[in-house]
Chain A
Amino acid sequence: MFDNRRIGMALAAPAVLFVALAFLLPVAVLLSGSFTLEAGGWGLGRFTDFFAEPLYREVMWRTLRLGAVVTLASAAIGYAVALAIVQAGPSWKGRFVGLFVLPLMISPVARTYAWIVILGRTGILNQAIVGLGLSPEPLRLLFTETAVFIGLVQLFLPLMVLSLVSALENLPADVVPAARVLGAGWLTVFWRVLLPLTREGLVIGGTLVFTGAITAYITPAVLGGSKVLMLETLLYQRVSVANDFVSASVIAVILIVMSVVAHAVLKRASAARGR
């Protein structure tokens, strides 16, 4: 650690100034617009107007609901998968973890487009449904909340799995056998031992999945369309279709508040874990 403050500041200054000018300033100006009133002055009038609109309330509610359901599903699947990975032995573990990192680096557009081929009217799933006689005609699977749900889980599940794997790795190796020897069933082991001991990992994974899901654009845009709007697709639509920058800045504030709150939770969880 060097004491010369001026060198340190000079090194940090370009990045800090850049982020402040190219990012913080324009975003702050954009957000402040939502607290102005049409008659002049400041207030929350634009927010009450926004929430008075039934469609917007529905979109907001759907965004939160999808965020919650996607997070819960990822947690449930994530625990099963992470336990299997941790138990698979050291040489396999690395490979499995790699298989969960890989999809994270692939274009979400490409990842989402695959679901059109799978869920479309003539897609493979509908071929199977009709072929098996489950339904006389193809079902409408695309442009439904279910399609958006499936797409979001596929996009964000790896984040949950990776957080849970690292939480389970830090678990002392003998807690599970010890609990078993003492007569606990698997469900008890999970609820009373594994869940409390991996809580921070769950919170970290959960926050990443939740913020990812509520701020997703590509998945609702491609798999939900204008029928299943989420906050980001609504924001885009308000600007591109109606030039409505007022609603857009209100949605921006809502998204940022949700995102900042989620990250505060994340920060506390990772501080508790000592990372």
Chain B
Amino acid sequence: MRAAGLTVLFAVLLFLLGPFVVIVAAGLSAGDTLAFPPQGLSLRWVEAVFGMENFRASFLLSLELGVGSTLLALLLGVPAAYGLARYRVPGREALRTVVLTPLIVPGIIVGLALLRHAVVPLDMPVTLALVLAHTVLVVPYAVRVVTASLENLRTDVEEAAVMLGASRLETFFKIVLPNIRNAILAAFILGFVTSFNQVPVSLFLTGPGITTLPIDMLASMEFVYDPSIAALSALMALMSMAIVLVAERLLGLSRYV
């Protein structure tokens, strides 16, 4: 039974992770067309990808968007999580539900709604709409991860600090913040990865000139048959893996997923 179980487990892992091996190998191909097994190994297409102007621009936008919207989401989400976890706010559950609803609504609808009812009527720049959309998407992660961490933190230390004369602000920065630091870092990583990999939310808010890396890749797939997209996919996969492995070591990220 155990041997059978392990066989199934390895077969499934092959199914889940095998495609990465394929994409990395295909990206390292020395040939001119996308193929597996690759026609000889080289870094030719990896180098080529770094030289492609469009991918560089969309990578930078994705990076800025990921960092910017995640920071904004934390700025909004951390106080909200703290306020709703520690103060007797009327309608607490309802307010928390409001902040978490973006998780339920498919991203493509958020993008379409912002395009139709913010970008067009208000003449809003698309980049601002992208920031709004990505921030909306990340806020629930920030609130959820920080709330979970606050619930595990005993409140009597804070109450003691307040009773001993610390101001509310001092209590938060000196007592609470050091204790939830790891959760905030985990929320940042989770938020950044979510934003960076996001496609549906940005579909209607990008176009030629202003586009994110995953959408640029999707669009290029239709006419690019050389291994460059495979090389790019491999780079993205390796980047995510590196982030996740480091985060797992430092923070135990899988607790928060």
Interface residues of A (CB under 8 A from B): 1-5, 7-12, 14-16, 18-20, 22-27, 29-30, 77, 80-81, 83-85, 87-88, 96-111, 113-118, 120, 122-124, 154, 157-158, 161-162, 186, 215, 217-218, 221-222, 232, 235-236, 239, 245, 248, 252, 255-256, 259-260, 263
Contact = CB atoms under 8 A, between A and B. Distances in A.
Nearest to A151: B19
B37 interface: yes
A124 B86 contact: no
Given A113-B233, A116-B221, A221-B218, A16 B98 contact: yes
Contact of A252 (B112, B159, B221): B112
Contact of A259 (B105, B237, B240): B105
9 contacts: A1-B87, A7-B83, A11-B84, A12-B84, A102-B17, A110-B236, A116-B34, A222-B221, A256-B104
B254 interface: yes
A104 B257 contact: yes
Contact of B22 (A16, A20, A29, A124): A124
A8 B83 contact: yes
A37 to B, nearest CB: 19
A8 B88 contact: yes
A251 B254 CA distance: 34
Interface string B77-112: 101101110111110000100110110111111101
Interface of A: prevailing SS = helix
A123 B257 contact: no
Nearest to A108: B197
A260 B82 CA distance: 26
Contacts, number: 261
A11 to B, nearest CB: 3
Residue from B84, B98, B108 with most neighbouring chain A CB atoms (10 Å) = B108
Given A12-B83, A19-B99, A84-B8, A26 B236 contact: no
Interface residues of B, number: 86
Interface in B14-30: 15-17, 19-20, 22-23, 26
B88 A232 contact: no
Nearest to A23: B136
Contacts of A98: 248, 254
Given A19-B101, A222-B218, A87 B2 contact: yes
A109 B132 contact: no
Contacts of A88: 6, 9
Interface string B119-159: 00000000000001101100100010000000000010001
Interface of B: 1-2, 5-6, 8-9, 12-13, 15-17, 19-20, 22-23, 26, 34-37, 76-77, 79-80, 82-84, 86-90, 95, 98-99, 101-102, 104-110, 112-114, 116-118, 132-133, 135-136, 139, 143, 155, 159, 162, 168, 193, 196-197, 199-200, 203-204, 214, 217-218, 221, 229-230, 232-234, 236-237, 240-241, 243-244, 248, 253-254, 257
A22 B105 CA distance: 13
A106 B15 CA distance: 15
Contacts of B232: 110
Contacts of B196: 107
B16 A154 contact: yes
B184 to A, nearest CB: 15
Nearest to B20: A114
A2 B87 contact: yes
A25 B133 CA distance: 13
A215 B199 CA distance: 12
Given A81-B8, A117-B34, A1 B88 contact: yes
Contacts of B116: 26, 29-30, 245
A217 B87 contact: no
A154 B15 contact: yes
Contacts of A101: 244, 248, 253-254, 257
Contacts of A263: 104
Contact of A118 (B12, B36, B110, B221): B36
Contacts of B6: 84, 88
